[in-house]
Amino acid sequence: MTQQLKVEAGLKVLEIGTGSGYQTAILAKIGAEIFTVEMSKSLTNLARQRLENLGLADQVKFKVGDGTRGWEEEAPFDRIIVTAAAPKIPLPLEEQLADGGRMVIPVGSRRSQTMTVVIKKGPGNFERHKNISCVFVPLVGVFGWDG
C-alpha cells in the first residue's frame, strides 16, 4: 500500500485506521505530515504512545472518530491511505483529496477486496486503477460498513 501511495517527504497524508500505529510509523519515517483517524480511543492512545517512544509523534496528528468522513477541517490531502475495506470509495475521502493527489483503498465485499488506487485529476475527475486482491477488516462508519 505504501509503495502504491507514492509517499514523499513533506506530503500531507490522511491515514484512515491508525490501528497499532505501524503504518503511521512508516509514513512518519518517510517524512510525511500525517493526520490519522481511528474509531477506537484505546487504539489511538496505544499508537500515540508507540510513536512517542519512537520519536515520531511530532509529525502526527491523531483523531478519534469515523474515518469514512475523513478530516474535513484539515483537507485537502496529497495522499490518503485507508487500512480497512470499504464497500465503495467514501465520497468525503474523494472530496478531501487534493488535485493530483492519490488514495489507496481496499474496495469490495466483506470477504474479498481489490486494492484500488484513486488519482484526482481535477474537481470531480478521478482515475481509478484496480490491482491485487486482498482481505482487510471492514471499514466501519457512515460511508462504510455499518458494523
Identity of the amino acid at 140:
V
Q: Is 12 helix (H, G, I), strand (E, B) or coil?
A: strand
Tell me the pTM: 0.95
pLDDT, one tens digit per residue, over 46-91 is 999 999 999 999 999 999 999 999 999 999 999 999 999 999 999 9
pLDDT, one tens digit per residue, over 104-142 is 999 999 999 999 999 999 988 999 999 999 999 999 999
Residue 69 dihedral angles phi and psi, to the nearest 5°: -90, -10
- What is the spatial distance between Cα 103 and Cα 122, in angstroms, rounded to a whole number? 14
Alpha-carbon Rg for the chain, nearest whole angstrom, is 14
How many angstroms separate the Cα of 125 from the Cα of each of 36, 37, 55, 118?
Answer: 25, 25, 38, 10
What is the set of domains in the chain, with CATH numbers? 2-134 (3.40.50.150)
- What is the spatial distance between Cα 85 and Cα 12, in angstroms, rounded to a whole number? 22
Contacts for 58 with CB less than 8 Å, ≥ 6 apart: none
